[in-house]
Structure 1
Amino acid sequence: MCLKYLVYKRALCGEVSLPFGFPQNRNAIFPRSHRTVNVCACAYFNSTMAASFGVCRLPMSGSGKFIKLCHGAVPQTQRRLATSTSALPSRTEKQASTAAKGSASFQAIQEERREQAERSVLISCPAKINENKFLDELTKHGTIDKHFFYNSYGTYAVVEFSSRESIASLKESTNIPAVQHEAAVPFKSRLLALKQTGSGSHPVPNFQDQSPPSINDLIKLLSEQDSIDEQLQCLTKALELSEENISLRFLVCSLLRDIAGAYFPECIIRPFGSTVNSFGKLGCDLDMFLDLDGIYASNQKTQGSGLSMEYQVKRGASERVVTQSILSVIGECVDKFGPGCVGVQKILQARCPLVRFAHQPSGFPCDLTANNRVAMKSSELLFLYGTLDPRVRQLVFSVRCWARVHAITSSIPGAWITNFSLTVMVLFFLQQRSPAILPTLDQLMELAGPSDKCVIEGNDCTIVSDVSKITMQNNTDTLLKLLQEFFEFYGNFPFKKSSINIRKGKEEIKPETSPLYIQNPFEITLNISKNVNATQLERFVVLCRESAWLLQQGEVLNRSSNQTADSVPAWGFAALLLPSVTSGAGVKSRRKKKLEPASSRIKNLLDSLKIKGGDTAAKKGSANLRR
């Protein structure tokens, strides 16, 4: 019996195939009288293994079926398995996840996250939720792989089940709320609300922080570090998207896909930009696009009989018109039927039509476009560069933080430099090092294999996906040196005549008269910084020169000895985030100053006269004012 059990167990896990003549039905192996005992043993075995391996999940394709048998027979044992697995320390999980993602391709990581999101639900919870009771209730429907709580217009929980069947079971036991004086839209999404009756004392769950630290807290944190290199590393950890935040972003895409799927069942809503390119900061927007390419690809089928079947479809005057129509309808559905989606705007006449809205349960500002595959390829390129050397991300995070503090960049569209443009400028600088820290885009294209070939709307967007093919040069520059020389590089860059081109990795003559010309990596006829005017470029150059000069001063470079337990003077990179940097460079702030009352202005004038000319000049000034 034990031998048969072990063989059958390994077969379920996909490790072996059942031998010829071996019973294919588990009932023939486990008689009814022994089945409960064996299932209990299996549950114990699985829970023990889960505790041993932590949250490092092994690729056992058949384990889901086996766990379902355990769940059906002994729910209490299964509940303990689920709760103990999801409650294990997260450090091992994060290390294993980071190591795995470092070697996986961009597409593989996105598909894994998307699949996890489809097995997840978002639940609005009472403010004082009993976590143990909450998990006990949910594990009635299946095994929970992981969960976390956060605050955004209330308390929310993200729960990832091990199978989609668990979500179907949960939705079957969920009710449409009864509302008074209003009517509920009966759209059954995976955004749920948990109601709790009664109260009592119980431990409050740990809440994941979904917002970045304030600039004052960040300056204080950086000032406590021992070197500028440590400051830049610390800043990256403080600002980067957490695993939980990325999971929530993919879940929002999945929830939105449930709405769009009513019209296009095979569509996918994919995040792009900061969410996936490894340079995302806590609090950044969620950019998504409606991917319909899979539908078109699946239609290209031929039959040996010479006959083929086609769908009857509506036709539009152009692809842009069709895109506008699709986004208009999806936007209307999000507005009318999407729970938690507020402030929906359909901006269909933009160069890239989009639907903009806020997703209140997550707190994310969202932009939805359609078939924006070039932007997705740009995200993949940045992700690839970010994985090649840790200094890349650390320098990008630091420069972008510095730029935001001094109003070089902004979340509001305008004539200033965008985060994407600034990131490309950092990449270009790192290509200029000797030896180069990053390869050029042309070099990444040369290393690409046949499966990497990608042409989008006539643009060659091919890049290598296998990172192991890329040979990195031995550059040992410190982050301090890179930061100093970044400011010096762009403080003296010939912007009037030269353009920035990471495809070639060298300066080129500007093809147009825009103050700042940065060639789009894939759509090579476009300037991604065309919006930047001469004033904003000059602000950037002056602040670069001021920051380069400050990093040469001893009082900035070295940590001050005049510090107490409660106060550490800002030094190093933290000193570059102070408002005095802007005023020291003689750069006007974009922020409007408050106009002082007339009495205060007169008092300041009198004080200045006293300083310049003594008491006599002050008296003359007072007499003039009285007249």
Structure 2
Amino acid sequence: MLTNVVGRIFLLKNFRFSQNLNSNINPNLSLLRKWRNSANTVFSRRISLEAKKADQDGFVPFLEMMRCRRSEASKSVLVQVQSAQSYKELHSYCSTFGTVNNIFHYTAGGEQLHFLIVEFSKESEVQQLLTYSSHVNDFEGIPVQTNFLWFKASGRKSKLKQSKSIKLDIENGNCIPKEEDIREALRSCNNISEQISTLHNITTLNEVATRLRFLTARQVEMCLLGLFPNAIAYPFGSSVNGFGKMGCDLDLVLRLAGDKISGESRLVFHSKALNGYDRSISQRHMEVMGDLLQFFLPGCTQIRKILQARVPIIKYYQQLTDVECDLSMSNMSGVCMSDLLYMFGSIDERVRPLVFTIRKWAKEVGLTNSSPGRWITNFSMTLLVLAFLQQPDNCPPILPTFNTLIKNAGSKDKFVTEDGINCTFLRDIEKLKYKTTNTDNLESLLKQFCEFYSSFDFSTKAVCLNEAVSITKPEHSPLYIVNPLERGLNVSKNVSLEELEKFKYELRNATWILESQEKKTSNWGILEMFESKRKVYPSNSVIPSKQGRLMEVSKLFDDTEQTQESVIIKNENVEKEIQQIRTDTNQRIRNIGNNIRKVSRQKSRR
């Protein structure tokens, strides 16, 4: 049931995306139409019925979504084939082991390698297929058994009956949109709000990309089934929190015991004792995991063991699923944070498009970087957007505070990590029954975001999602964003003062762009924001007071007598200030000269 619910929701998203593109984008854009048809379109044989049902199913809580996705992965295999057309023969072959629910196609390695994701109706059918599958010779490769296989050509003409009614659910589903295709789509929009929605629809993780990430996690679990049959590799971060874009990295946290806890059984497994927490032991465990990935698991390449970090991780690239991975064995707070962001993004349909646009803008103007450093991270940028949407000062808030979720938590929502971090909060937004009265469109919210933080007092105030108020900074970091789950931590501690000033400067530039556009150019709307890195705009384009917001552009060029008089008065004031500075400077010079002469006379007397 849960599998069908999540599947319907993703089908609905793709269906609406297809509708938006058909209505908003010039049909003569053959390149964009080709990408749209190959990358994100689900065949219409199931869309209308599933889309209708998805509206009735409602919100799927994060943990249920995770269980459903993990169930899909356990009932699926990834098979390398000769081409996309191999799906008919592969479907016929796999049908001898059970019922095939779905087949998805994608390419990797520069579109030279073709893969099919085959989902069965039962996990036992997958186990039967894997039991019957064979290995290569020992001298050709390690005989490991995982959910990653390849479909070899038949030595003789295949006698399998191929059904003509079978079709691929998605073809070339892991295609990352090209930058020029994205810009063409944005140029074809009618307004900025439409641009923001289109950017989100094109770049967000699709069905195939999501399944590939859970299949990657499943491979790690299967690697450990012998010693750790309950092991679970939990995806967290952008891959599951609803803010991931096509091509994003996969963060994994490995739990060897999974969800299994001590029961009433009198028989207990013998195990190696751990004498307290020793960081070196954790590093050794991670080192062993890195060796397993490097020497035994197919597709795992570019293994990098970063064991001296505060949280030891293994970075690797899974070339068969085309995913960059970060594997750790730390606590579950990262999964809980993903749950929180997933909920915030699901409360209002404007949240995720706004976050996608602001993070895209931050990347284009150089505020964020893929490598760690002193700049703002995507995670911090996301929290800044969510905190802004909680503010009651600018307009009715769109999002509730985190403390509201804590107060409404039930008995089933209680969770405390092994490190004592309390991650208890309401996990089903339908029980919250929160509905905002804010009706501002995405364009208006984007402008308000830029204005809000361009005048925010970062020198004394901290950003806090727990309550919709700015609190006094507990320390002197340039940018302080309170970690909602661990309130004593600053998630933006790495940000330097220089990068914060750059952030405020780019906010002023973005505000000026959004307010000053009067007609469309080749790069208009948010496209102009993305280009502002190469341009310089007036530094005083933002007016701090909320009442006046920004000056209308036409007023800047008003030739009325009142404007001329105000300019004359300002010029006179400036001249008086300059004259006063000159007088003060001359007086200081005279005083210094007098002091020097006094010292000289005293020395001569001696």
TM-score, normalising length from structure 1? 0.73
Change (3 A) 1:211 1:535: farther
- Could you tell me which of 413, 426, 450 is aligned with 1:452? 413
Counterparts of 2:373 and 2:462 in 1: how far apart (Å)? 21
Deviations, residues 443-474 of structure 1 (Å, cap 9, x unaligned):
11001112212222222221102212322221
Change (3 A) 1:160 1:134: same
- Could you tell me which of 424, 428, 445 is aligned with 1:466? 428
Query: Is 1:524–2:481 an aligned residue pair?
Result: no
Code of the aligned partner of 2:361: W
Counterparts of 1:469 and 1:152 in 2: how far apart (Å)? 42
Code of the aligned partner of 1:123: V
The alpha carbon displacement at 1:530 in A equals 0.9
Deviations, residues 304-338 of structure 1 (Å, cap 9, x unaligned):
xxxx7462423245154443232222221111100
Code of the aligned partner of 2:141: A
Counterparts of 1:97 and 1:399 in 2: how far apart (Å)? 32
Aligned pairs for 1:102-501 within 5 A: 102-127=58-83, 129-153=85-109, 154-178=113-137, 182-196=139-153, 207-292=171-256, 294=258, 297-301=260-264, 309=268, 311-318=270-277, 320-433=279-392, 434-456=395-417, 457-470=419-432, 471-501=434-464
Deviations, residues 53-81 of structure 1 (Å, cap 9, x unaligned):
9x979xxxxxxxxxxxxxxxxxxxxxxxx
Identify unmatched segments of 5+ residues in structure 1.
Answer: 1-12, 14-49, 58-85, 561-568, 588-627
Deviates more, 1:124-133 or 1:146-155: 124-133
Code of the aligned partner of 2:412: S
Change (3 A) 1:312 1:522: same
Counterparts of 2:201 and 2:374 in 1: how far apart (Å)? 30
Counterparts of 2:255 and 2:387 in 1: how far apart (Å)? 30
- Could you tell me which of 467, 481, 495 is aligned with 1:504? 467
Percent identity between the two aligned chains: 33
Cross-structure match for 2:573: none
Cross-structure match for 1:6: none
8 Å CA contact retained: 2:87, 2:103: no
Counterparts of 1:145 and 1:204 in 2: how far apart (Å)? 11
Secondary structure of the corresponding residue to residue 158 of structure 1: strand
Cross-structure match for 1:30: none
The alpha carbon displacement at 1:170 in A equals 2.0
8 Å CA contact retained: 1:546, 1:581: no
The alpha carbon displacement at 1:176 in A equals 1.2
Change (3 A) 1:102 1:369: farther
Change (3 A) 1:95 1:128: closer
Change (3 A) 1:468 1:495: same
8 Å CA contact retained: 1:516, 1:529: yes
Counterparts of 2:256 and 2:61 in 1: how far apart (Å)? 22
8 Å CA contact retained: 1:130, 1:204: no
The alpha carbon displacement at 1:529 in A equals 0.7
Cross-structure match for 1:550: 513
Counterparts of 1:128 and 1:461 in 2: how far apart (Å)? 44
TM-score, normalising length from structure 2? 0.75
Secondary structure of the corresponding residue to residue 102 of structure 2: strand
Code of the aligned partner of 1:115: S
Code of the aligned partner of 1:167: V
Code of the aligned partner of 1:577: F
Deviations, residues 408-457 of structure 1 (Å, cap 9, x unaligned):
11111111111110000000000114211111111110011122122222
Deviations, residues 143-162 of structure 1 (Å, cap 9, x unaligned):
11111110112111111111
Cross-structure match for 2:590: none
Cross-structure match for 1:601: none
The alpha carbon displacement at 1:222 in A equals 0.7
Secondary structure of the corresponding residue to residue 315 of structure 2: strand
The alpha carbon displacement at 1:234 in A equals 0.7
Deviates more, 1:191-200 or 1:285-294: 191-200
8 Å CA contact retained: 2:374, 2:495: yes
Code of the aligned partner of 1:450: S
Secondary structure of the corresponding residue to residue 88 of structure 2: helix
Counterparts of 1:220 and 1:575 in 2: how far apart (Å)? 13
8 Å CA contact retained: 1:342, 1:360: yes
Code of the aligned partner of 1:550: I
Counterparts of 1:90 and 1:241 in 2: how far apart (Å)? 20
Counterparts of 1:338 and 1:100 in 2: how far apart (Å)? 41
